[in-house]
Structure 1
Amino acid sequence: MLPVKKYYSNAKFLITGEYLVLHGSLSLAIPLRFGQFMEIYESDSKDLEWIALDRAQEWLHFSISEDEVLQADQKGKTEKDFVCFLLKQAKQLNPEFLKNFSWRVKSEINFDRKWGLGSSSSLINNVAQWADVNPYELHAMVSKGSGYDIACANYCLPILFRRNGSHPMIYPIKFQPKFSEQLYFVYLGNKQNSEESVAKFLNGNPVTKTQVESISLLSKKLLQSENAFEFDALISEHERFISEVLNCDPIKSERFSDFKGSIKSLGAWGGDFILVRSDDGKREVHRYFYEKGLSTIFSWDEIILS
């Protein structure tokens, strides 16, 4: 049986502005070659069948009744709870959505879901397309995030993003550093809970307008960096700045102080991926991180959508 509808959303990296993007900083984000597919099939069942795959391997399979969606009052603790809540919010935005529950939904990510590249945001965006609703409105109803990941789900170019309710400011840009062959993305092996990180930050110390403007300026400068020396300096300045906001040590000084090059945290600090730049060759960079027990390493061209 062929699907009656098909959707796809990109995964993403937030290169600048982590945390402060929540307060309106201008931030650089990049869509990735990875993403999430969603296919909708007709079904004879009165309930909606939901199947989720991780690189072709099924990891979720359940049925959802209409009552479960209508009665969902929060995201809950399980994946099924979240899906029910997500579908309910989509239906609130478009009452015509899911008037018929006889559907079979197959959703598949083509990356390891532990990597934190946007399995939730790409799902939200796919459901928004299916329900024909504003993806930023739906995202705001189920998440406390900024929405930059929703923007990356829909764009095939790097973007400058500024949070602005259900209609954020998005500027598609060109960002292909001349030294991109010296850039790597390394998975630290410790997936962070984005919602918990966001909530903790929002409940912490207040952020000043000056701090937001400083990160916005750094985002612009990074785009204009002409060489690796400038890039390294800006990366170090960004890390120092965010470390003061969060009151914690930058990842390089904490774990990779002997690395020859620059390192920047991406997303929630303490896990997920880091951005690395080094004059050393690919073999030397891989050897360094392998010896640290880290083996998931991508070059720029291997992971960045271009």
Structure 2
Amino acid sequence: MNFKSNGKILLTAEYAVLDGAKALALPTKFGQSMEVSLSGSPGIIQWKSLDANGNTWFETRMQISENGILSAAHSADKEEKKLVERLEQILNHCFDKKPGFFHGKGFTITTRLDFDRSWGLGTSSTLINNLAQWLEIDAFDLLANTFGGSGYDLAAAANDQPITYQLGTGKPAVFKADFNPPFQDELFFVYLNRKQNSRQAIARYKAQESEIQKLVEKISGLTEQIMQCEDLPTFELLLNTHEALISQAIALPQVKNELFPDFPGSIKSLGGWGGDFVLATGNEQAENYFRNKNYHTIFRYQDLIL
């Protein structure tokens, strides 16, 4: 059995999405696939994770018992140990939801990324969504009991076009969005050469004493305006306003002011500030500005977004 989930870009409402702001999320052409087959070793899950080059970056064996799933491998490497513990946690929640599914069976599971793990496009969310598809369980429940977060990345993983995402009471509100800017030839994404830990970024946001409800209302309004925008100058103005609001809320400088003060176009952080990708506006000459500063992972809008 084969499953595939999309990566994600959060265009608006980073941080504020956690408190109910309407967010615009864009699924990416890059994602993660998962292949599952029954093996001849009952009671064993043989797990392998491949990177974008087809190299194994993680591998382990899990034992299926009557009470749950336990790691059969013990590593002295701290990073690998953390990965094993996290996978054990995820699979045990799956086991709790469908215990009879695993009994008396063995599985070989191989995951394959088609993007660099350091890019922050959703290694975790695509995994969660693939597992939920396989087991036919609630992906949002699985996320809540493992990684946590708003869940917008799961919604993007399961959709093949832009979406709006909003938390409220009960299940999140997810709607397909008609976002296809006529000026997308002048939009591109730049990787900042450093991966941001979203959990740390969220903790920073939660620690700030700001007027959250007013921020949520303003950001939701900007999301609506950005979706309807038909010209680049207005789009840039909306991006700049969004950056200023979030900068004030989390007490961090805007990435343009900090790293690219002489860039002529607009730059917007995407997701946790300080890492991963940014959205920039401009032509090929604008792209060369970043290449001259040793930022070489650059995608045109239409090359990255579904």
Verify same fold: TM over 0.5: yes
2:161 corresponds to 1:177:
no
In the alignment, which of 40, 44, 47 is matched to residue 40 of structure 2?
44
Structure 2: gaps spanning 5 or more residues? 72-79
SS in 1 for 2:185: helix
Shift in Å, 1:61: 1.4
Separation in structure 2 between the aligned mates of residue 89 and residue 203 of structure 1, nearest angstrom: 29
Separation in structure 2 between the aligned mates of residue 266 and residue 289 of structure 1, nearest angstrom: 17
SS in 2 for 1:62: strand
CA contact (8 A) 1:124 1:135 kept: yes
- Code of the residue aligned with 1:61 in structure 2: it is E
Separation in structure 1 between the aligned mates of residue 169 and residue 206 of structure 2, nearest angstrom: 16
In the alignment, which of 135, 138, 157 is matched to residue 153 of structure 1?
157
CA contact (8 A) 1:184 1:276 kept: yes
Alignment-derived partner of residue 247 in structure 1: 251
- Code of the residue aligned with 2:295 in structure 1: it is L
What is the TM-score when the length of structure 1 is the normalising length?
A: 0.92
2:225 corresponds to 1:221:
yes
For residues 13-51 of structure 1, what are the alpha-carbon distances to aligned partners after superposition, in whole Å with 9 as ceiling and x for unaligned?
000000010111000000000000000011112311000
1:252-271 matches, within 5 Å, as 252-271=256-275
Cα gap change, 1:166/1:141 in structure 2, threshold over 3 Å: closer, same or farther? farther
- Code of the residue aligned with 2:232 in structure 1: it is A
Separation in structure 2 between the aligned mates of residue 166 and residue 39 of structure 1, nearest angstrom: 32
Shift in Å, 1:71: 5.9
Shift in Å, 1:114: 0.4
CA contact (8 A) 1:52 1:58 kept: yes
In the alignment, which of 103, 116, 119 is matched to residue 115 of structure 1?
119
1:1-306 matches, within 5 Å, as 5-45=1-41, 46-55=43-52, 56-67=54-65, 69-70=68-69, 78-164=82-168, 167-205=171-209, 207-278=211-282, 281-282=283-284, 284-305=285-306
Separation in structure 2 between the aligned mates of residue 207 and residue 21 of structure 1, nearest angstrom: 14
Separation in structure 1 between the aligned mates of residue 94 and residue 195 of structure 2, nearest angstrom: 27
CA contact (8 A) 1:144 1:198 kept: no
For residues 82-123 of structure 1, what are the alpha-carbon distances to aligned partners after superposition, in whole Å with 9 as ceiling and x for unaligned?
111101112222333322440000001100000000000000
SS in 2 for 1:186: strand
Shift in Å, 1:276: 0.5
Structure 1: gaps spanning 5 or more residues? none
Q: How many residues align?
A: 295
SS in 2 for 1:130: helix
Separation in structure 2 between the aligned mates of residue 81 and residue 155 of structure 1, nearest angstrom: 29
SS in 2 for 1:190: coil
Shift in Å, 1:66: 2.0
Cα gap change, 1:100/1:128 in structure 2, threshold over 3 Å: closer, same or farther? farther
Cα gap change, 1:199/1:143 in structure 2, threshold over 3 Å: closer, same or farther? farther
Q: Percent same amino acid among aligned pairs?
A: 37
Separation in structure 1 between the aligned mates of residue 105 and residue 209 of structure 2, nearest angstrom: 45
What is the TM-score when the length of structure 2 is the normalising length?
A: 0.92
- Code of the residue aligned with 1:194 in structure 2: it is S
Separation in structure 2 between the aligned mates of residue 8 and residue 257 of structure 1, nearest angstrom: 39
Separation in structure 2 between the aligned mates of residue 251 and residue 34 of structure 1, nearest angstrom: 25
- Code of the residue aligned with 2:298 in structure 1: it is I
